[in-house]
Copies of this chain bind each other. A is one copy, B any other.
Amino acid sequence: MTRPNPRKTKRVSKKVLDQLRRVTTPTLTTQLLKNYRLHNVALRGVLPLDGDMPAFAGPAYTLRYAPLREDLLPEQWMDHPANLMTPAIEDVPPGAVFLMEAGGNVDAGLLGGNIVMRLKMRDVAAAVTDGAMRDIPEICEIGWPVCCSSIAAPPSFARLMVVDRSCPVVVGGVTVFPGDVIVGDAEGVVAVPAHLAADVAKGGLAQDHLEGWVNRRLATGAKIKGLYPPDAKAQADYQAWIDAGEPDEV
């Protein structure tokens, strides 16, 4: 078999991952749109199971689920030699995001409490899917980042089977190559192409800081025009505020 799009993704440094984790997902999308004209980077409908989930960022480790072929049902059980999930759980690198394409099928829960416990013990950064998850109370008790589209009681092998891994995937309508950076926070999940990660991190931190200052000004009754986005005068005011050591009043 040939794989026509091997696309070597650049490795992203731990420092850049740490920066990306500190940028909000809305700001990441603004950076990717304004600077690179990328419109389609936010995974549709993929949200944290727990609204208080801390932000995460890591390179994508990908799996692709497809509709079950019923003649292959026994092969999907975890103790079958041909099962593909068991090795993936032990192979995914620490720090990576376990990214599962489900084709939007939300009639089965891809992972339950046992697998989530193991992924957490292996220091995987998070699990993300446009499918559903199961054993929700147990997962919430484990307290590890999970973003998904829905919850569903049935086991994955009721509807789906893993057909590929470490391959390009489409999750929530966004195409992701292995190694692209997946960032998640309370507002959802964004895919940052690996070769843009460093620039986006830097620009995002600057934008978030500026918008914090803008909001303080608005809270005092300032008008939006000229302030957001800041014109020359506002930028000077912002710089003066920084030079003054970021005092409480703006």
Q: How far is A16 from B125 in the complex, measured between Cα atoms in Å? A: 41
Interface centre among A4, A37, A178, A193 (most CB of B within 10 A): A4
A18 within 8 A of B: no
B-chain residues with CB within 8 Å of residue A71 when the two chains form the complex = 36-38, 193, 196
Are A167 and B1 in touch, CB under 8 angstroms? yes
Which residues from 71 to 119 on chain A have a C-beta closer than 8 Å to any C-beta of chain B? 71, 77-79, 84, 86-90, 103, 106-107, 109, 112-115, 117-118
Closest to A80 in B: B229
Are B1 and A166 in touch, CB under 8 angstroms? yes
Are B137 and A186 in touch, CB under 8 angstroms? yes
Are A3 and B3 in touch, CB under 8 angstroms? yes
B-chain residues with CB within 8 Å of residue A136 when the two chains form the complex = 186-187
Binding site for B on A (CB under 8 A): 1-6, 24-26, 28-30, 33-34, 36-42, 44-45, 47, 64, 66-71, 77-79, 84, 86-90, 103, 106-107, 109, 112-115, 117-118, 121, 134-138, 150-155, 157-159, 161-168, 170, 173-175, 178, 186-188, 190, 193, 196, 211, 214-215, 218-219, 221, 223-225, 228-229, 231
